[in-house]
Structure 1
């Protein structure tokens, strides 16, 4: 979940909201890659999720990272709830999952090094206090009541609201994890093309990275339960945003969409003010019930944009949001997948050619099928496995054309970061398929074996 945003001063013109997003346009040489990933922490002996406080806790992990590795603390209400260093931050999901939001970096080599250093630091701290971390799309056994709610004002507000607007919101908050990548755009037209590719092909990412076939100790009938959870969260702020594919889509159309999404909060003087279900349009007129007579700032607008949860979203950059959290070696494959598709114009054009003939019903059907069946999904004559082969081939070509070397020039490009999903294409087995095979095979139905075999 996002931290409070710094957007700017008062909104005095409607156009400022679109201009805020357009200010993210950058020349190609300044495009960067920001990788985010979440993982569940648990006590090594009891296999129970971590509380916020205590000898073995989220607080202890954050404090260890702060004290041993030079991270600066982020506090709210006196509570240690995050860390910052070198353009990156470590934050907490509502149920205590630990998230790294990486710095904007030039290459996947760099972002993967960042992931590796972070996980090594976390493991070093965790090992000393009897804590472990595991990368999955959904908590395999833990119940809602076992998951603590972190002491953050935003989360308390969201927790109370979720049951009013959907059926799975609290599951999302406390018991799901993802890996994401944040990518730049060069112009409004470039943003439009990238968003259309991002939304249309997000189900391919969901299928390739599907890694949550268990929930509350049982096989749940989905390869990606995390994706299923998002479909039952809040229709006003999730989904495949079909207007992205309509003529005239651009920054202003995204503004109109965002203005129609009910608010969660306003952040003032270190506190979250309840604005649940209220209208940002009313806020613009000075008629927000939570703050009568007060008008919003660009910082309020930036905060509001973080409460939209479609499969890809626009802020000053684009966030790819469709993949389950997963094993260490697959975390770098997700940025490689999307950078390959979107940071080379030839690859981006090829990706759009592949998807531009689909209608909204097809795109939504692919999303649902990816969640349920993963790489084995079939939609209207489209084989997800065959589609994924084509998409990954385009990404591979895009990374070759990008030709960003690593290891002092010894590695010519970034294509090797796709190896994990190339193996998935060769075998036809996603991480979820491997988990199910272990559960029905060597684990003999004992799901507690997942922690020993799949933790970092």
Structure 2
């Protein structure tokens, strides 16, 4: 989740609907300017007893951030506490229970993306060696209760932690116990955005299945392969889901604005502090009728903040965010952007991918989304067969799309090599969670602590 900083730059009051549409319009770029932004979270634990470190304890989250300064990262503070870092490789930030996130820089190709990921992981591992800290690449804490997890000192999280239980049963689990990999991609026009949005939204369950990596809750199998994905089904119905309107004729920026205006607010940022506006209406804010700021109207920054508080399977800001994947180790961090770039950044591949899913009904899309957290690649697909069958076709398309990009590294390799870990999953039919369950039921003999030596 983005980290807000106080700024002295001009921040105009929103006076017209055009200003609400402007962020999405501003995202339009020629193909030559399309970039890849990859975000990935990891769980942090102390190696001596596997507890999740607090912010302030020795060699805890604060000290990890401060130690990362040796690699050129600059601190970002909130109320005098370091809560993020910024640098050439993007930003390092904290999720609510201390999950460490890299929001990578916008890069031209997947070779750069994977190099960026490698640099970051080498840095945190070096700090981890000094601090007795390890990192887990999973979609969810395998053994921790909510009560065992620390809370990070970020104002927006205080607001969300209070609000989540009012709107869903699993929102606190989403905040405190989960990790994800995401990729942010560009579009050329409103029509291009709409086609990419529809295609990626329909295929998001496939990404969830391929990256399913959260089969344990509090030390035991939970009956799911991606429990992280299941959590989103009972987090907050006002800001999650498959968004049926995206598939309607005429979908575009204006319809997205209407959706976001219907998403209840979380907060307003003023003078370096977060003001609780949870459940209030941005429409009222536009009229100067927000109860917590009577008479004030929103600025462009307020609208940008609000755009970051919806959590559907795909999200639109000035780029498209693919949000369906569980967290994982290095190879799968590189594989997620490869999967989506191959499908969405080559027109022939995009057309072929859309042809696979364009005739699905909304009911069929929802059924697939609901089935995948438990069944992964064994989930039934519209028209018959299993998701694994679709995966084979989609992998051929994305491989062709990457090959067509002809983005080569210094050794002359194109980007298709980053798909290898997914090729192995499709060839075996076993997703990462199923491999973890095999180990749990086999060589680990039911001891979930063995996972700390296995992942990452």
Q: Deviations over 1:336-383 (max 9, x none)?
A: 000000000000001100010011111111111111111121244241
CA separation in 2, counterparts of 1:198 and 1:303?
Answer: 24
Q: Deviations over 1:149-182 (max 9, x none)?
A: 1010000000000000001000000000000000
CA separation in 1, counterparts of 2:122 and 2:413?
Answer: 26
Is the contact made by 1:369 and 1:379 (CA closer than 8 Å) also made in structure 2?
A: no
TM-score, reference length from structure 2: 0.98
CA separation in 2, counterparts of 1:358 and 1:16?
Answer: 34
In the TM superposition, residue 317 of structure 1 has moved relative to its aligned partner by 0.2
**Structure 1 match to 2:59:** 56
Poorly superposed stretches of 4+, deviation over 6 Å? none
Q: Deviations over 1:202-229 (max 9, x none)?
A: 0000000000000111101110000001
Q: Deviations over 1:14-54 (max 9, x none)?
A: 12111221111000000000000000000001011111112
- Provide the secondary structure at the position in 2 that maps to 1:150: coil
- Number of equivalences: 452
**Structure 2 match to 1:28:** 31
TM-score, reference length from structure 1: 0.98
CA separation in 1, counterparts of 2:61 and 2:444?
Answer: 29
**Over the residues paired in the alignment, what is the CA RMSD in angstroms?**
1.1
- Provide the secondary structure at the position in 2 that maps to 1:292: coil
Is the contact made by 1:154 and 1:265 (CA closer than 8 Å) also made in structure 2?
A: yes
Counterpart mapping for 1:358-373 below 5 A:
358-373=360-375
**Structure 2 match to 1:143:** 145
Is the contact made by 2:65 and 2:82 (CA closer than 8 Å) also made in structure 1?
A: yes
Q: Deviations over 1:45-84 (max 9, x none)?
A: 1011111112131111101101x21100010011111000
CA separation in 2, counterparts of 1:8 and 1:391?
Answer: 43
CA separation in 1, counterparts of 2:418 and 2:256?
Answer: 32
Counterpart mapping for 1:152-167 below 5 A:
152-167=154-169
Task: Name the stretch that deviates more: 297-306 or 6-15.
Answer: 6-15
In the TM superposition, residue 283 of structure 1 has moved relative to its aligned partner by 0.4
Is the contact made by 2:3 and 2:84 (CA closer than 8 Å) also made in structure 1?
A: no
**Structure 2 match to 1:3:** 3
Is the contact made by 1:350 and 1:394 (CA closer than 8 Å) also made in structure 2?
A: yes
**Structure 1 match to 2:266:** 264
Is the contact made by 1:439 and 1:445 (CA closer than 8 Å) also made in structure 2?
A: yes
Counterpart mapping for 1:254-403 below 5 A:
254-380=256-382, 381-403=384-406
CA separation in 1, counterparts of 2:321 and 2:53?
Answer: 28
CA separation in 2, counterparts of 1:375 and 1:170?
Answer: 27
CA separation in 1, counterparts of 2:329 and 2:73?
Answer: 24
**Structure 1 match to 2:414:** 413
Structure 2 vs 1, CA of residues 305 and 382 (structure 1 numbering), >3 Å: closer, same or farther?
farther
CA separation in 1, counterparts of 2:386 and 2:300?
Answer: 44
Task: Name the stretch that deviates more: 380-389 or 22-31.
Answer: 380-389
CA separation in 2, counterparts of 1:310 and 1:382?
Answer: 26
Which of the residues 121, 124, 136 maps onto 2:123? 121
In the TM superposition, residue 87 of structure 1 has moved relative to its aligned partner by 5.4
Counterpart mapping for 1:83-102 below 5 A:
83-86=85-88, 88-102=90-104
Unaligned runs of 5+ in 2: none
**Structure 1 match to 2:452:** 451
CA separation in 1, counterparts of 2:428 and 2:453?
Answer: 24
Unaligned runs of 5+ in 1: none
CA separation in 2, counterparts of 1:39 and 1:412?
Answer: 29
In the TM superposition, residue 411 of structure 1 has moved relative to its aligned partner by 3.0
**Structure 2 match to 1:230:** 232
